[in-house]
Amino acid sequence: MKLSTVHSKYGAPMGRSGLTLSRFLTEYAGHGRVSLARVPLNSGGYDPGGAYWGLMWDNPLWRASFITSDGCETIETYFRAPSRAAAKQALPGAKFFR
């Protein structure tokens, strides 16, 4: 998984933009294959692209993404779940890449 680098003159943003999990489920999860990946966070709570997610959460951060049928757009959502199995359960109806 390659995350885009994020930065601004005011520092790192809080998280990344993306759909809410419920909107992702409604509009995309049942319409094709979804890629699910754990997002690594460093000891300061930042992802590899520089977005800040914090350290107060017990659960790992996950990224679910869907590539539109024309291949031009990647739709994504970020959420917390204790394990990959639990992250998959949070996306009912989705078919996953192996």
Give me the amino acid identity at 86: A
Confidence of residue 7 (pLDDT cuts 50, 70, 90): low
DSSP 52: B
2 pLDDT higher than 90: no
* Cα distance between residue 7 and residue 46, in whole Å: 12
Token reading at 20: 């809410």
User: pTM (2 decimals)?
Assistant: 0.78
Taking the mean position of all CA atoms in its chain, how far away is CA 35? 9
How much of the chain, in percent, has pLDDT values that exceed 90? 29
DSSP 45: S
87 pLDDT higher than 60: yes
Confidence of residue 88 (pLDDT cuts 50, 70, 90): very high
pLDDT at 80: 94
Confidence of residue 9 (pLDDT cuts 50, 70, 90): low
Supply the mean pLDDT for the chain.
82
* Cα distance between residue 60 and residue 95, in whole Å: 21
pLDDT at 93: 83
Q: What is the mean pLDDT of residues 20-38?
A: 81
Q: How far is CA 87 from CA 11, 35, 90, 92, in A?
A: 30, 11, 5, 10
pLDDT at 81: 95
